[in-house]
Amino acid sequence: MVDEPRSVTAPAGRPDRNARIAGMVDEARQGSMDALGQLVTELSPLLWHTARAAGLSSDDAQDVVQTVWMRLLSHLDGIRTSAALTGWLVVTTRREAWRVRAAGRRQLPADHEWFSVLPDARPGSDEQVILDDQRRELWVAIGQLPQRCQELLRIVAFVPRPDYQAVAAELGMAVGSIGPTRGRCLAKLRALLAGGSQR
Amino acid sequence: MKRSDAGAGEPMDESDFAILDGIREIFGQADPMPADLPERIRFSLALRDLEAEVARLVEQEDPRLVAARGAEPGRTITFDSDSLTIMIRIDPNQDGTVRVDGWLAPRQRREIEVRTAAGALLVASDEQGRFAFASVPRGTARLSVRPGERGQGGSGRPVVIPALVL
């Protein structure tokens, strides 16, 4: 399937979304619970996957996501753009996740337990989705990546595209002068996918 | 030998974004965020007090890791803020409610509030920093320590902890 080529540096809808998010941040700063609630709805999945990618249990991940939103309240003054908001949230979530993980005495979840949970491996689930070959190949390839790459790619996949560049920079990934560049992890994944099709 | 990360550093193209879309789909299905999490967060935020210190989770003993099935033992959770450490223990009551025992460190007399969908309950800690709610409805609850008198090792600021599911 070939998509229409689109500019990566200015995807359609980017100005709208950025303006909308920045507007909600402004309103939240002025005390609008409604605006804050919309930000929570929109960005919590990213924070959840960031916390889980760091190896937290479900309970700890939920606590961390909640804590991060609470802490945002005292940091709203310094945040003016969508990219700054997303970047702050991701970095703070990772930091909190590491802190909770380091403080936990208990056994950590088995090395990224979610990797054993293929979506179609749960018989009887109403939500059961049979992955097509492409998805399965992708899943297998991700599993072959170093853990750090799995974590980074999982986070990045949930970052809204317009904020990608800012978040990639925060995560220590290279960013080109014009637009986001392909990081090493993504390049490795592509190599694995290409190798897989030669079988 | 071919470098396994050939192509790194080049501008991202549509296949890269298609791969990221695929990753998002897979993890969204394999390990989705609990659907009620945003609602619990909004609940927490709505009760926020901008002046308050936010205590952070330090440690949580997960009973599922230590307990045999059937008996539901207490859950102990510790939170830390700049001025206070709050430890709470949650035990189920026979009638379906829960008992919450807590300790404040440094020990001090403070008023502690627990707010649930059913309303707010208020107790005071003793000189040892101990407090107890004998019966709290299950569900999402928000616990906060009201501002104390300044001095005596206490802080004048209220302390709130993230919402809990009792």
pLDDT tens-digit readout, A79-113: 989 989 999 999 999 999 998 888 764 444 444 44
Q: How far is A179 from chain B (nearest CA, A)?
A: 7
- Structurally, chain A folds into a number of domains equal to 1
Interface of A with B in 100-119 (CB under 8 A): 100, 103-107, 114, 117-119
- Residue A183 resides in a domain: yes
Please give the structure tokens belonging to residue A31.
């005390």
Rounded to the nearest 5 degrees, what angle is found at the Cα of A60, between the Cα atoms of A54 and A65? 80
- Residue A79 resides in a domain: yes
- Amino acid of residue B60: Q
DSSP conformation class of A76: G
Name the burial class of residue A173, with classes exposed (0-12), middle (13-18) and buried (19+) by CB atoms within 10 angstroms of its CB. Answer: buried
User: Among A21, A43, A24, which Cα is nearest to A33's?
Assistant: A24
CB of B19 less than 8 A from some CB of A = yes
- Residue A9 resides in a domain: no
CA–CA separation, A174 and B72 (whole Å): 49
- Residue A6 resides in a domain: no
Q: How far is A26 from chain B (nearest CA, A)?
A: 16
CA–CA separation, B101 and B133 (whole Å): 6
pLDDT of residue B59: 66
Query: Has residue B154 got a pLDDT over 80?
Result: no
Q: Do B49 and B159 form a contact (C-beta atoms < 8 A)?
A: no
Most confident of A15-19, A52-56, A71-75: A52-56
- Residue A8 resides in a domain: no
Name the burial class of residue A91, with classes exposed (0-12), middle (13-18) and buried (19+) by CB atoms within 10 angstroms of its CB. Answer: middle
- Residue A37 resides in a domain: yes
User: Among B144, B151, B163, which Cα is nearest to B51's?
Assistant: B144
- Which of A3, A39, A63, A185 would you mutate first to test chain B, the one with the most B CBs within 10 A? A63
pTM: 0.66
Please give the structure tokens belonging to residue A60.
């700890």
Residue A9, SS3 per DSSP:
coil
Q: Which residue in chain B is spatially nearest to A173 when comparing CA positions?
A: B9
- Residue A1 resides in a domain: no
A69: nearest CB among B23, B34, B45: B45
Residue B91 Cα distances to A144, A198, B116, B118, B119, angstroms: 43, 58, 17, 19, 20
- Mean pLDDT over all residues of chain A? 78
Domain coverage including residue A146: 14-196
A182: nearest CB among B16, B33, B45: B16
Q: Do A134 and B51 form a contact (C-beta atoms < 8 A)?
A: no
Contacts of A47 (CB under 8 A, 6+ apart): A64, A65, A68, A69, A89, A90, A93
**Using one digit for the tens of pLDDT, what is the confidence trace for B17-74?**
999 999 999 999 889 999 999 998 988 887 665 556 777 777 666 544 433 333 356 7
CB of B36 less than 8 A from some CB of A = no
Query: Has residue A12 got a pLDDT over 60?
Result: no
CB of B140 less than 8 A from some CB of A = no
pLDDT of residue A61: 93
CB of B127 less than 8 A from some CB of A = no
Q: Residue B126: pLDDT band by 50, 70, 90 thresholds?
A: very high
CA–CA separation, B103 and B98 (whole Å): 17
Domains in chain B with CATH codes: 37-165 (2.60.40)
